[in-house]
Amino acid sequence: MSTNAAPSTAVLQAAANWYLDLQEAPNNTVLLDAHQRWLAADSAHAQAWARLEKLQGKLAILPAGLAQPTLSSASNKRRESLKLLGLLLVAGGVSSLAWQSTTLSSLRADQRTATGERRDVRLDDGSTLQLNSATAVNIDYSKQLREISLLQGEVLVQTAADQQARPFVVHTDQGSIRALGTRFLVRSEGDRSQVQVLQHAVEVRSTRNQPPLRVDAGQQLWFGADKALAVEPLESHADAWVNGMLVVSNWPLPRFIAELARYRSGVLRCDPRLSNLRISGAFQLADTDAILDNLTTTLALRIHRVSRYWVNVEPA
């Protein structure tokens, strides 16, 4: 396929994956051949690779202390390098790296998890946060408010009574969720956010100052910066990830694969021709490769591993 469009974020991330794979095994002829086929498959792939090569040349002129942690030690710091490299590719060059030389520590989230990691955080007032895979939050407690900013990913919030009676508010790019003595999930996904209420209620307000919308226990809501969708019944087992599980009932396979992709590094794609397949079950998220392999025993599909970090789910 050929296209004149700029490479997407997914393609740029794939180029980063290829770079690191080739760094680890530069003489692997099978890998080299697969990389050449990937380049030839789409002009966007070649564009992404050209951008990476340009970036690599720019990195070579940076101070060693800055460039070295970025592209070396891939085997020891693969996740960190991959995230940074993907960020640089999307940003378009070293200009996005320059400020990291002195201000990286100030730009890091207060709490974050890597892909596939979960973390429990206890706050000063006794409230707790449980961070899902690839999640980042900032925490700001003042005399007036208890505020959590969800930068990416998903978090389970359990609020505690506050002696100062300060409101507890979670912010996303699309708006804010005010807790009304509650336990709830907040998820940030592209240009929309979701809240799922497990206990009590929350009040949701979009960024564009729409009237607040109440969401009660047993309900969920997707909302954007401009508007909110209709309140829906809470999906069962929404918090199963807290226990390392993904529990689904009659999900379309593409949705299942997209959800599974949140818990593994690299690119995981589902062929649109498999959209008619449905899946139900409880899955252990600790081994996503095993989940993928098991799909082939019950569904008419195959798992095509282009590399360790590029996997396609295709018709059998």
* Architecture, CATH, for domain 244-315: 3-Layer(bab) Sandwich (3.55)
Beta-strand runs (E) in 142-277: 146-158, 168-172, 175-179, 183-189, 192-199, 201-206, 213-216, 219-223, 232-233, 245-252, 267-270
> What is the secondary structure of 207-229 as a DSSP string?
TT-PPPEEEETTEEEEE-SS-B-
Query: With bands split at pLDDT 50, 70 and 90, how would you rate the model's confidence at 297?
Result: very high
- Fold classification of 112-233 is Jelly Rolls (2.60.120)
In three-state secondary structure terms, 92 is coil
> C-alpha angle with apex 258: 252 to 263, nearest 5 degrees?
130
Mean pLDDT of 138-154: 94
Interval 255-285: pLDDT, tens: 999 999 999 987 899 999 999 999 999 999 9
pTM more than 0.95: no
Tokens of residue 284, six digits: 């252990």
In whole angstroms, give the CA distance from residue 310 to residue 316: 18
Residue 77: CB atoms within 10 A of its CB come to 14
- % of the chain surpassing 70 pLDDT: 80
Dihedral of CA atoms 171, 173, 177, 183 in degrees, nearest 10, equals -80
Is there a contact between 55 and 49 (Cβ–Cβ < 8 Å)? no
User: Domain extents for the chain?
Assistant: 9-107, 112-233, 244-315
Residue 176: its pLDDT value, please? 96
